[in-house]
Amino acid sequence: MAGKALNIGGKLMDLSIPRVMGIMNVTDDSFYAKSRFASKDSILFRARQIMEEGGSFVDIGGCSTRPGAELVPEEVETERVAFAVECVRREFPELPVSVDTFRAKVAEVAVRECGASVVNDVSGGELDDKMISTVARLGVPYVLMHCGKNPDNMHKLNSYDDFLRDIFLYFSEKLQNLHLQGVKDVLIDPGFGFGKTMEQNYELLGSLPLFESLDCPVLAGVSRKRMVWQLLGSSPDEALNGTTALNVLALVNGADILRVHDVRAAAEAVKIVEMYRKCK
């Protein structure tokens, strides 16, 4: 949205036109098999693909948070992420790297030692009490996600007193704490698929304008999730068309960044929505 920007390594990234973040999982068990990369060649292939297809970031994760996944040891995640970030930064220094982790040590190594530019934390700082102070010290943008009331079991369905009000209050309180601790650039991620029913996911998608008053960029991550393929009776492999439909809805409702597996399709959705807005 107009006026929003991110400080990426000392340079402002304009978000007046939405951006696309390409997913790169350096794991062996992410829910969408085609998003898994491990070797140097495959990592560089994916980074080049993201750039050529219109992506503005690569989001690298070394520990799957899919339903039922076993968390890998911190040392394993650190090694995976550090290797991938170093590969990308060495070959494509112009491509900003986001690191998808809830562990402060992984974030520290990825940013300070390897050159990552953003920390993307699915737990909102709840699974590692050092995460927020670490991000503040590193001085990088932080993706604050809503994962429900049970961060230790992020996919467990939760009861809410007032669904949308509870999420809005969560972000309001977290943002206040983040700013008090010195975190300056924050993106909010509503957490589609985390601690929410199918209906709640869709209610949330249609309610993204609610978060405009928080004055933070909104990141929407719906790519190939259960809210797509389960509704359509298909599978993650068959969920591109449904994902694109949801990405368009997210953009129309105010999303500033789309986190996706399929960068070209998302970048085309951005162009179409921007033309639609221009000609309304």
Identify whether 4 is a catalytic site residue: no
Q: Residue 150 above 90 pLDDT?
A: no
Q: Residue 141 above 70 pLDDT?
A: yes
User: What would the pLDDT profile of 79-135 be if each residue is shown by its tens digit?
Assistant: 999 999 999 999 999 999 999 999 999 999 999 999 999 999 999 999 999 999 999
User: Does residue 158 fall inside a structural domain?
Assistant: yes
User: Does residue 7 fall inside a structural domain?
Assistant: no
Which residue in 259, 264, 271, 280 is the catalytic one?
A: 259
User: Does residue 186 fall inside a structural domain?
Assistant: yes
Give how many domains the chain has, as a whole number.
1
User: Does residue 12 fall inside a structural domain?
Assistant: no
CATH number for the domain spanning 84: value is 3.20.20.20
User: Does residue 6 fall inside a structural domain?
Assistant: no
Which residue in 224, 225, 264, 271 is the catalytic one?
A: 225
Identify whether 259 is a catalytic site residue: yes
CA distance 4 to 259: 17
User: Does residue 259 fall inside a structural domain?
Assistant: yes
pTM: 0.92
Number of neighbouring beta carbons within 10 Å of residue 252: 16
Host domain of residue 100: 18-274
User: Does residue 219 fall inside a structural domain?
Assistant: yes
User: What would the pLDDT profile of 237-271 be if each residue is shown by its tens digit?
Assistant: 999 999 999 999 999 999 999 999 999 999 999 99
User: Does residue 2 fall inside a structural domain?
Assistant: no
Q: What is the pLDDT of residue 155?
A: 56
